[in-house]
């Protein structure tokens, strides 16, 4: 049994753990922790693991191989998303505003306006072919000891001193017009970095969602018609790639 087959044993046919396909891809699965705009672990995230359809996971492995030659690496924030987690996001969006989450995730957009513009009732993530990610400078990450988590929505001038992530102009899950991939008003550095990410992902079959620089869908595999709701299982020791 291959690592991919083993990792899929507790999931619907075709799904795999990304870590079983390529353990070198960094993972920071925010919705499995309280460090997200809802402020708590979302239902269905039983493990902080990226789960995807097999072809999408293998395509990310090819992206990673290309980036590694330049001293870079992918870091994924979210992959397959259980439908129950999407429903919880919608419920959160309809509740009263929270100053703390607004300051960090949507400082310029009122919470009442996040649904349905930024938060939809259904997500392509629940089909297993969408992924949220960025690029990390490996040398800088080694020097810092880790990836420092960004605490602001829109990156400040001191971004380069606080994170090994490539500076994209906004943090992941920043609900703001500046998160649009080709937002007007972007500096040349941010524009170049976003274009680099889009280009390398496109080469391996991923299409960017124009509203979020970090969101990509694998388009060389026809996604299933169903929106899945199985809980994300942990990856067992015997399932890990050697």
CA distance 11 to 148: 32
SS3 58: helix
CA distance 187 to 57: 32
Regarding beta strands 206-208 and 215-218, do their DSSP bridges make them parallel or antiparallel, or are they unpaired?
antiparallel
- 212 included as an active-site residue: yes
| Numbers of helices and strands, H then E, in the chain | 8, 7
Which tokens sit at 91? 């419920």
SS3 119: coil
Which tokens sit at 61? 């492995």
Q: Check 49, 88, 165, 212 and give the catalytic one.
A: 212
CA distance 144 to 241: 27
232 within 8 A of 242, measured Cβ to Cβ? no
119 within 8 A of 93, measured Cβ to Cβ? yes
Q: Which residues are designated catalytic?
A: 212
């Amino acid at each position: 049994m291959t690592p991919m087959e083993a990792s899929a044993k507790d999931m619907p046919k075709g799904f795999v753990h990304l870590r079983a396909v390529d353990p070198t891809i960094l993972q920071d699965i925010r919705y499995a922790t309280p460090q997200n705009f809802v402020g708590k672990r979302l239902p269905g995230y039983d493990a902080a693991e990226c789960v995807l359809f097999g072809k999408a996971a293998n395509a990310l492995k090819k992206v990673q191989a290309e980036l590694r030659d330049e001293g870079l690496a992918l870091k994924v924030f979210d992959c397959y998303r259980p439908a129950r987690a999407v429903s919880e996001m919608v419920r959160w969006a309809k509740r009263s505003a929270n100053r703390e989450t607004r300051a960090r995730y949507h400082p310029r957009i009122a919470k009442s306006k996040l649904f349905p513009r930024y938060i939809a009732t259904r997500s392509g993530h629940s089909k297993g072919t969408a992924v949220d990610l960025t690029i990390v400078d490996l040398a800088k990450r080694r020097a810092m000891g880790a990836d420092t988590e960004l605490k602001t929505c829109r990156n400040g001038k001191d971004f380069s001193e606080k994170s090994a992530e490539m500076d994209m102009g906004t943090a992941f899950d920043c609900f703001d017009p500046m998160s649009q991939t080709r937002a007007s008003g972007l500096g040349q550095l941010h524009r170049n970095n976003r274009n680099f990410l889009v280009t390398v992902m496109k080469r391996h079959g991923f299409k960017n969602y124009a509203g979020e620089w970090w969101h990509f869908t694998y388009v060389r595999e026809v996604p299933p018609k169903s929106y899945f709701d199985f809980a994300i299982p942990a990856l067992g020791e015997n399932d890990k790639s050697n």
